[in-house]
Each structure stands twice: as structure tokens, then as C-alpha cells.
Amino acid sequence: MKNIVILGASGSIGQQTLDVIKRHPQMFRCIGLSLRNRLDLISGFLNETFGCFVCLENQKDAEAAAKLYPWHHFLWGDEGLIKLVTLNDADTVVNALVGFVGCGPTLAAIEAKKNIALANKETLVAAGKIIMEAVERNKVSLIPIDSEHSAIAQCLATHDHQVRRLILTASGGSFRDRTRDQLVNVTLSDALQHPNWSMGAKITIDSATMMNKGLEVIEAHWLFGVPMEKIDVIMHRQSIIHSMVEYEDRAVMAQLGTPDMRIPIQYALSYPDRLPLDLPSLDLGKCHSLTFEPIDFNRFPLLRCAYQAGRSNNDSAAALNGANEEAVRAFLAGEIRFIDIDMLVVEAFESMTYGPNNSLSEAIAGDLKGRAWIRNRISGGRV
């Protein structure tokens, strides 16, 4: 029996993790979870379980919840989050938080010798070196939930040396067939329509700007220890091939499947084993074709910035990620247009000056620098 803690239980990955756990009651038990305040989204879980640690964002909500569900233990805030990820009985922490905010709890869990199942890519983008050093020092495993990285990890599970390059597939997101000129008047609801995957708002927007793929290239660089110049991206509209590994003998291994995040989630929990999962099988006869196209870096400039940041040995990736998080927040809040997201983030990336990134406090400083640049630019009214 593996005892699991889920950070971000009310989000898309959190909910699907609860679904996977429920399918294997002999294998997995959720002993703790965190969410901001949407208890209604986990009411089924709260009613069916007993003695779970639940961390909410603020004290008032936690105290009210404790009256509603007196058979669970309620915690709150940053202190509650740290208590949650360091619970004595926890084996694996699933980090399904969105954004760099997931970094501190990830490090605390690693230092407490917990294995990590990571859906929170921004943590590796902004603090990859720091996280991977902590993983090494504490001898824990860090298994990706991101579908591309899960695919690569599954390919590498059979052979992990003589790797020539990693090939990440990209669907192209909601606006893949529009030119930049056609992006001027797109709406929030247009942007939230992903062609293949059902995901949270932030990652769906990041997919439409292709920043998501940029973050994933940097994530792959840290996770697998492969230099940036050996990581390629190819547009694959169907999201059936989740990613590939090319070896020195030019053989290419790929992992395929229907686009359903429960597959990589379950693999991260059951690793290195596989468990049954009752989903429809991939029907290649129905796919008709699998297509591949080169990426146009002029159409998706944030991907170019991410490659540049990933190659630099400074806090530029942390700052780029912070700037993007702030720009996406502003778009979701209706403060800027979709087209402004990458225009502003590129401008920020090219204007900021960068420093070292060898500690959590330096990564935080980089993140704040990116956010502040975007906020000042928007509040300056020049957007």
C-alpha cells in the first residue's frame, strides 16, 4: 500500500489522481490533500474516507470545514502545506499545483525523503538545478506526470544511455492554424478550447502560446540530464505519440496512447510497475493518420525564448516563467489581450538583467523580477 498526498486536489490533475487512487484501493490510499477552498469538488472523497489531512488556503475556511467534516483533520496556509508534505506516513507526494508556488512544498517533501510525482513543471523550469540536487542528495525518485515526460521516462526505462536526442511532440494548442494577425481579436473562451486535451486554464493558455512546450523543453533538460541542444520539438496534431527518444544508432522509441492524463498519473504512482487501467484502448484504425510538421519559431516566439533561457546558466528561466505566469494571470483577468501575452513576455525576457540561480532564494528573486516587470508594464498603461 502506497500512502499518497496530493497538492492541488481540486484541479484537473488532482481530480484525476483521486480517480486513479479510487480504482486501486488495495494499492493506493490518499492520506492528505491540499486545495484552495473548493471542498465541493472533493465532497465524494471527503464523505467516503476517514482521518485524512486536508490543507486549505486560509484559517477561516479550514475552521468552517472542520465543523462540516469532523472526521478529517484540517490545516491551513503555508505552514499547513509543509506539515502535509512531511507527514510521517506519506510515501509519495503528487504535486499538481499550478505555477512556481509549487516549488517550496516540493523541496520540503524531497528533504523529508518523500518520492515526488510531478505535474508542476514550473518548479523544474525555475529551480531545476536546486530540485535535482535535492533529489540526488535525499535519494528519492522524481517521476514526471507531464505526458511528454512520462513518455520519455517510459522509453528510457528500457534503455537510458546512448541517447542522441529527445523529441517532444506538441499539438500546437487552440490557435495552431491561425497566423499572428488572426490572434488580435481572439477571446478567452476561444483560447480555452484545446483541440485534444482537457486541462486547467493556465496550461491551456500556455499551450496556445506554445510557452507550455518551452517550459517542457526546460523540464526535460533537468529531469533527464540532456542538454538543451539535444531536445527537439515537433508539431503532432493528434497527440497520440506523446514523445520520442532517438538513440545513437538512429533507432527511435515512441510511447503512444489516447490523450488521457490518467495514464501518466497512474504510471507515476505505480512506477516502476504497471497496473491495469480500464480505459478504451487506442484504436489506430480510427486515427486515420499521424502527422508531423516542423515548428515555426516566429509564430511561437516564447518557445525560442525558452530555448535561450534553458541554455543560460542564470535565473533567466525563473524570470521568464514568472513573467509568463503574470501575463497569463492578466489575460485570464481580462486585463490584456491574448496577443499581448507573448509580446509582453518576449519584451520582458529581452529587457531584464539576470543573476545567478543556485538557491531557492535566488530562484524566487528571478521569479519576482519577471512578475514585477509585467505588472509594471501593464499598470503603466502602455499595453
> Which residues of the chain form contacts with Mg ion (CB under 5 A)?
146-148
Give the C-alpha separation, 151 to 110, whole Å.
23
Strands in the chain per DSSP E: 2-7, 28-34, 53-56, 73-76, 92-95, 115-118, 142-144, 163-170, 231-235, 241-247, 252-256
Residue number, nearest CB to Mg ion = 146
Least spacing, CB of residue 136 vs Mg ion, in Å: 24
Contact 336/330 with Cβ under 8 angstroms? yes
Least spacing, CB of residue 125 vs Mg ion, in Å: 13
Q: Comparing C-alpha atoms, which of 130, 134, 163 is closest to residue 317?
A: 130
For Mg ion, the closer of residues 148 and 340 by Cβ is 148
Give the C-alpha separation, 370 to 374, whole Å.
7
Q: What is the dihedral of CA 313, 127, 132, 28, to 10 degrees?
A: -160
For Mg ion, the closer of residues 315 and 325 by Cβ is 325
Least spacing, CB of residue 148 vs Mg ion, in Å: 5
Contact 192/174 with Cβ under 8 angstroms? yes
Number of helical H runs and strand E runs in the chain: 16, 11
Least spacing, CB of residue 382 vs Mg ion, in Å: 33
Least spacing, CB of residue 236 vs Mg ion, in Å: 12
Contact 267/150 with Cβ under 8 angstroms? yes
For Mg ion, the closer of residues 146 and 367 by Cβ is 146
Total residues belonging to the chain: 383
- In DSSP terms, 254 is beta-bridged to 244
For Mg ion, the closer of residues 53 and 100 by Cβ is 100
For Mg ion, the closer of residues 147 and 209 by Cβ is 147
CA atoms within 13 Å, Cβ hemisphere of 382: 9
DSSP secondary structure string for all residues of 115-153: EEEE--HHHHHHHHHHHHHHHHHHT--EEE-SHHHHHHH
Q: Comparing C-alpha atoms, which of 48, 141, 128 is closest to residue 91?
A: 141
Least spacing, CB of residue 52 vs Mg ion, in Å: 29
For Mg ion, the closer of residues 62 and 170 by Cβ is 170
Q: Which residue has the cell 503512444?
A: 256
Q: Residue 89: enclosing H or E segment and its boundaries?
A: none
Least spacing, CB of residue 203 vs Mg ion, in Å: 8
DSSP 8-state secondary structure symbol assigned to residue 99: S
Helices 211-224, 316-332: crossing angle, 10 deg rounding? 150
Q: Is 267 helix (H, G, I), strand (E, B) or coil?
A: helix
Least spacing, CB of residue 314 vs Mg ion, in Å: 25
Amino acid at 162: Q
For Mg ion, the closer of residues 8 and 32 by Cβ is 8
For Mg ion, the closer of residues 146 and 342 by Cβ is 146
For Mg ion, the closer of residues 80 and 99 by Cβ is 99
Least spacing, CB of residue 207 vs Mg ion, in Å: 8
Number of other residues whose CB lies within 10 A of the CB of residue 275 = 13
Least spacing, CB of residue 106 vs Mg ion, in Å: 18
For Mg ion, the closer of residues 146 and 315 by Cβ is 146
Give the C-alpha separation, 211 to 213, whole Å.
5
